[in-house]
Every structure is written in structure tokens, then in C-alpha cells.
Structure 1
Amino acid sequence: MHLRGPMNVSKLAVYMLPGDFYSPQKRATIPSDVLDAGHIPDAVDGPVAHVALAEPAKEVDLPVIRFLNNSTVQKRTGPGSCSIIAAAPPWSRIASYTSAAPAAATGFAFLANLGDERKSGTFDYSFGNSLGYVIGNGKTVASQNTPFDGTLETSEVEIAVFTDQQCRTGDCEARPRATAHYGFGGESKVFLIEFQMDHYDNVGTDQGMLSDAPAWWFLNAAIPRVLQYGNDKRNIPCSCWSSGCGEFDAFEVLGRGEERAKSTIHRQGNLEGGDSNFFRRPVGRMLKFAVIFHNFNITASVLPDTFDFSQTLTAGQIDNIIAYDPDSYTHSLFPIGD
């Protein structure tokens, strides 16, 4: 994910399901006296909400249940067995950040297109700067991963936030000698942010840059690891952005000093566009926002001020966020297909 100023970020968090697949496997048989007792031991994954005996109990083989989505799962194993209604598991926080002094991050790496072989990343005249680690304010290359200090002063400053796991040699699509980290993979994932976007103009002399236009967006991780902006010196695209590997603008202020922030999806040659929904730019106050990739949809929504970025999120909390309200102008839904 990527952040562009002017923006103050107080919290970030990423959540994933403990397993986003269904994989039937054999378990050891469960004795009939256990079934008669009306409960299932720990051999079955997930909390058990109810057991109903169909016939006099016998020894049965039960599958391991992995969860594909938030729905309750019910399995029957035939005559002489039981039905199990298992509650969906909570979503676990896999990365978190707070700007409260001293700034602290777990599971995140903070980078920018400022690579320098003397510290981290690389530079050449064909492709410019690669990704490299940055100091807390995002303005200067660093030699190691350093927690973001929470402030991107102007639209001239942006950072890329990856997992804290470095790519193994040949394991990621990345430019040679770039500082390459894994992105946040998986079909189901939740990103939460608490932030504000006060008004500050650029201070440099580059008149071609957007000014006072903050944004939060997501790219296929291969794009910034190869070349986020521009083409090579022969004007040939290097990353997969132009061939459709994707960008989602969770929120973006589209013009200098604008007050409305909107969501848009970009998939060249595929699904593209946005809707008329927006939220008012939070100036002088914090706002909480969620982006959820789940069930082949992307949900972008403003959250209540009381929403807690806790260690886990329940299936009910996620269901409430992704329950699309067509009458809400602060909630957007983007189908992305399979």
C-alpha cells in the first residue's frame, strides 16, 4: 500500500483469516461416548456452536474444516453421524503501526523510490531510483527499515508500505539490487487506517507535481518493485501496470486543495472506474477508514470513530462493514471477479 501527503497517520493495521481455503482431511475417529456427551473435542478446527445427533451415535470420521469466508459451515457425515455448525473464525491482526511517540511498527516495512546503493536499493540512469528504506519522515533513504513517524508533509512525499519479510533471491518479480519485500498476499485481507489530511502546498520548484492532494492506494506489489513511475529510457513500460495487474485507489483527492476524497479502480483492459461516492477530507480531525478484499469484491468505507483496531476482528464486524448500503455516499463496492 502507498501513502501520499499531506497526511498525518496515527494508526495502520492489516488483518487476515487464519485459513482462506477449505481442505477436507481425515481425522481420528471420535468415540461414541464423546458424541453422547453432546460436545466435540479439539480435534475439529474452530469453535463448536451446536451438535445434533441424527441416530444412535457411532464412530465417525470428521473432516478438518477450513474457512473460505465468513459464513457458518455445516458438515454432515451421513447416517449415524452428527452435524456440526461451526462459527467463522476471527480475523487476526498480522501487522500494526502507531505513530504515538515513539513510533512503533510490527510486520511493516517502509520504503520509497529513493534507492541508493550506499544505503539501500539502487539507482541508474535507465530506470532511476529503485525502492529503498526511508527515514521516519519518508524524505531520505535509510540503510535499514525504520518506523514511519506518522507525517507526510506535502504531496511531494510518499511512502510504500510492504510486509517486513524480504523477498528471497528469485522469489519476487523485482528490479535487480532493489530493496524488495513481499506484499500482502491472499484473497481475503483487511486494511485499516486512522488519519487526517490538513492543507499544505508543495514547497519545491517542480510545478508538474500534484500539490495538496493526499491519497492512499494499493498496487500489485510487482509494480513498485520493478518501476512504479514512467518507462525505461527507450520509453518501454517495465512493470505490469500497463498490462492490467492492477491499482486500487482507496481514497484520493483529485485536485489541489479539494475537499472530496474518492475511490477508483484501475485494471487496464479490464474493470476500471469509480462511482459518485466520496467522503469529506478530514481537516483538523482524525478519521478511520477500511479497505476489505473479500469474496472477489473490494469494499472501501468510512468507519465509526469508536472502531477499535484490536488484535482480532470478528466475522460479524467484517460482515457489518461489507454489507453494502446503496444509499450511503461514504461506502463504495468494487467487484473484481475471480
Structure 2
Amino acid sequence: MFAKSLLSSFCFLAVAVLQVSADGCSQDNGYYYCNQASEVEFKGVGFSSSYNKVTSMNPESCECTSTPQSFGGALAPFDEELSFHFRGPVQLKRFAVYYPDSDNALSSLKKRSNHNHKKAVANEGGALKKRDDPAEITSTVYETILRTAYINADGSPATSAPEAFPASTVTGNGPAPTSSSSSSSSLGSNGLSISAPNEIGKGLAASSFVTSSTSAPPTSASSASSAPTSSPSSSGSSDWVRSSYYDSESSTSDNIVFMNNMGGTAGSGVWSYCFGNSISYAAANGVDGASSPQVLADTMLKSDKEVSIWSANKCDGDDCGYYLSGIPAYHGFSGTKVVLMEFNMPHDDSTNFINDMPAIWALNAQVPRTLQYGKRECSCWDSGCGEFDIFEVLNAGNEKMVSTIHSKQGSQNGAGGGGGSSDYFTRPTGSTMIGAVVFDTSSSAVYVIDVTKNGVNFDQTYSASDVAGWLKSGSTVVQLS
């Protein structure tokens, strides 16, 4: 990653600014945080549009071409293949992906989504009830309003909008790197690459948004909980079936491939002056490259180190679309699914640009298969193919994690889009946390849930009622338009 001193000399950073009116919210390093959450529900996810699908990449001329790719429907574009990314400091203990094996799997979740969420109103005297008020269960509803604010690299407010981010600049004729490096955008000892905003650092730049939140008590017992009114009596059935699994302590890996961005350094992937390091197989330590698939060790990734998870299903012919020649190309995880992950995020003493800012996120799998870090026209990210920040720490050392969807849904004049929550999950710095992410195409909803206390043990199958039982009362709701 780039040092702040370099950034301050030639660019601004666009950041998401949260402005909230709910009682109990506070500002921390430029971000507003409200209530501790155990679930954030994104409703109305999916719209019709297009993004620029890369069709060629020339490592000699540094040129990339693309063509418009239309998409639409429930969860779109997040119904497409996703890769899952983990940035340190983080220790991933277990990971699993489940797919529905019966109609019960979806019907139970759909009942939950169809349950009315009451829009909050002010209480007597204008005060807003806190969600943790012991007297009664409340819910928080966020409406996304787009606005962009800018800060300089030192954190001070910018007085004007920045110039457009410059394209990658290539200088020098040094050899391809042979040593470990956490920056996949390195272009040689004299090279410099400035790339799309999300590549400066997770949480420092992306679709900008403002959220206004209100919270009020439910009007009746039926609205006090957003859980389904009934669940299928299918406990013990295989409504959800595990397709991929990883356990660090037993070194177990089934239908999973670990990647990082060390292409061209250890026998897999490629390196070029134009595009830097591609994705590659990750070594067991998660930091170095490898020549073949390795099982990630029971290890702690330090700040600024990143590993990604893919299925073990290799791309064949054009079934993955275009991808950079020479990379190990695999399919991601698409459609309706449940993703479980157990992890902790202890503090570390790194002095990197994004030190002590762990994050877990999902990318449209086309992005890392072309260029995750580099020229914006060489991936579909900038044109809106989708990024989902699942658990993200926005500034160094913070112990709050937020969830944000980045897409062009709801954008104004092509700018901004997506949405996020000022309610937060508590970062697990000691014991591990188990998070569940449910991508439900039947109700156009995505749920991010802390299931640490739900007795989840990454079983081979789960019933519909099991998964529906993870959904929380009084969840935070982010309504996308």
C-alpha cells in the first residue's frame, strides 16, 4: 500500500461520511457509530443496469478493453460469482459455504423478509429510543441518501473535489519482483501505481453515502420481532447443504482454494510492468505465493496482508468469462447461499498505511481474475459490478466493524450507490466470532448475523428452521432503493 506522504502529494481520498440523528450516536475519527448490532439486514438488494466487463488485457501496451454487461434481478449483481477476502490482522479459524437443497430453505427466509418492519417515529418530546432500551424491543431502519465528501490524506477536510484519480504510472525497467510483498500493485522498484479508490485501502474510499437512522418501539407484539411468524418443521433435514469447508486446526479443506496477490513470485500467476502481480496460489502462511493450492495454516495474518477464498472448481473454456492470461482461474460462489466464518481480529503493532484495520469482504470474482489492484479500466469494479464489505474496521485500532454494500443501485447520475449502516458489530479481539451471511434471492435480501451464541458448529447440513432461527429480533435494516 502507499504511504500517506506519497498520497498527500498528489491526491485526495474519498470517504463514506455517516450523518445520523439517532440518540446515542457518536463520532469516532470522522465516522458516526450508533448502536451495537447483532444483525444487519440489507433489503431490496438487486436492480437492472450494466457494468463494463473486461474482454482483453495487453501486458505490453497496458491497454484493457471492455464491453457493457447487462444484469438484473434479485440481489443483482451480487447473485454473480463472489470471492471472499480477508485482510489482517485476522485469524480465520473456520469457513463454510452452504447452498439450498430444498424449497424449505428459501420459504422460511422469505417469510422473515415479508414481515413488516415499522418505520420509526420520534417518541414523546422528540427523543429517539435506543435499540438497547431494556423496556421494549425496537428496530432501526436506515434510508440511504447519497452524498460525497472528501478528505485530504492527513484527514483534514478538502476544500474542493479532487482531480480524477490518475491512471497507473509506469517507470523503470527493473526485473519482476521475487520477494514477498503485500502490495499487488507494485510496478517495480521505480514504479508507482495509483488505482481505483477501493484499492487505496478498505473503508477509505468507495461509494459515498449518508445514512439517517431512527429508532422507535414497535406498535404491537407482532412487530416487535422481525423473525418469521412460523418456520418449517424441518429440523434435521438437509435444507442447506455444505459445499465448501475449511478448518484451520485440523488443516481440513474441502472444495476451497486459497489465493493472494503474489502472482509471478512463486510459480503461479504472472507479473508485468503494466498490471503488477496477479492473483496466485497462497502459501500456507497466507503471505507468500505458491506453485500449487495449499491449505491455509492456523495462522494470524498481519495488517495489510490479504488472502482470498475460491471454490476448487477451475474455470474451463469461457465459463468464467475473460480473465488475465497465466493466472490460476477458479470459480467463486454464486446465487443463494449461506456463508459461515469463524475469526478473530486482535490488534497488532504494524506501521503500515492501513495498520490495524482488518476487513472481510466479497468481490465480484471477475475483479481479482482481471486486476484487483491497478488501472480502473482493467476491472469491472469502477463500473459497478459489486463489492460487499461484510465486517470492516474503518480506522486504525477501532473495535467497531460495519457492513456496507457498494454497487450503483440507487446512484445519482451514475455516482455513488449502495448503502451501509452506522450500527456496528463488535470486533472480536480476544475470543473468536462466528458470522453468518445469508444471500437470499427469493426475498432480495442479504443478512449479516453474529451467530456466535447460536451453537453453530459448521455442520454438513442445516434445516431451514435452523437458519431462520439465527435471524434476530429488532435487527438493523438497510433499505436499498
Regarding TM over 0.5, the answer is yes
Query: What whole-Å deviation, never above 9, does each CA across 1:185-205 have from its counterpart, x for those lacking one?
Result: 12x1011111111101326xx
Name the structure 2 match of 1:196: 344
Contact 1:300–1:333, Cα closer than 8 Å, also in 2: no
Name the structure 1 match of 2:449: 301
Name the structure 2 match of 1:228: 372
Distance 2:291 2:477 in 1: 39
- Residue 170 of structure 1, CA deviation: 2.4
Secondary structure, aligned partner of 2:314 = coil
Contact 1:4–1:152, Cα closer than 8 Å, also in 2: no
Name the structure 2 match of 1:50: none
Query: What whole-Å deviation, never above 9, does each CA across 1:258-314 have from its counterpart, x for those lacking one?
Result: 010111110035441211221211112111111110131110011133222111111
Contact 2:239–2:463, Cα closer than 8 Å, also in 1: yes
1:95 aligns with 2:244: yes
RMSD, aligned CA: 2.5
Contact 1:70–1:319, Cα closer than 8 Å, also in 2: no
More divergent stretch after superposition (128-137 vs 262-271):
262-271
Distance 1:112 1:201, change over 3 A: same
Name the structure 2 match of 1:316: 465
Distance 1:287 1:96 in 2: 17
1:276 aligns with 2:422: yes
User: Which of 91, 94, 99 lines up with 1:8 in the alignment?
Assistant: 91
Alignment of 1:142-157 (within 5 A): 142-157=290-305
Distance 1:125 1:281 in 2: 38
User: Which of 381, 390, 399 lines up with 1:241 in the alignment?
Assistant: 381
User: Which of 215, 234, 241 lines up with 2:359 in the alignment?
Assistant: 215
Secondary structure, aligned partner of 1:242 = coil
- Residue 246 of structure 1, CA deviation: 0.6
Contact 2:421–2:478, Cα closer than 8 Å, also in 1: no
- Residue 118 of structure 1, CA deviation: 5.6
- Residue 169 of structure 1, CA deviation: 2.7
- Residue 316 of structure 1, CA deviation: 0.6
Letter matched to residue 202 of structure 1? S
What number of residue pairs does the alignment pair up?
Answer: 265
When normalised by structure 1's length, the TM-score is 0.72
The structure with the larger Rg is: 1
Distance 2:108 2:432 in 1: 33
Contact 1:152–1:158, Cα closer than 8 Å, also in 2: no
- Residue 67 of structure 1, CA deviation: 6.4
Distance 1:265 1:112 in 2: 23
Alignment of 1:72-221 (within 5 A): 90-101=239-250, 103-116=251-264, 119-173=267-321, 174-186=323-335, 188-202=336-350, 207=352, 209-221=353-365
Contact 1:137–1:149, Cα closer than 8 Å, also in 2: yes
Distance 1:97 1:265 in 2: 25
Query: What whole-Å deviation, never above 9, does each CA across 1:221-273 have from its counterpart, x for those lacking one?
Result: 10111111221xxxx52111111111111100111000101111100354412
Secondary structure, aligned partner of 2:360 = strand
Letter matched to residue 18 of structure 1? D
Distance 1:131 1:197 in 2: 24
For CA contacts below 8 A with separation 6 or more, give which structure has more relative contact order. 2
Contact 1:296–1:336, Cα closer than 8 Å, also in 2: no
Distance 1:169 1:120 in 2: 19
Distance 1:138 1:278, change over 3 A: same
Letter matched to residue 458 of structure 2? F
Secondary structure, aligned partner of 1:241 = coil
Contact 2:96–2:339, Cα closer than 8 Å, also in 1: yes
Alignment of 1:47-62 (within 5 A): none
Contact 2:265–2:289, Cα closer than 8 Å, also in 1: no
Letter matched to residue 342 of structure 2? E
Distance 2:385 2:85 in 1: 16
| Percent identical residues | 36
- Residue 108 of structure 1, CA deviation: 0.5
When normalised by structure 2's length, the TM-score is 0.52
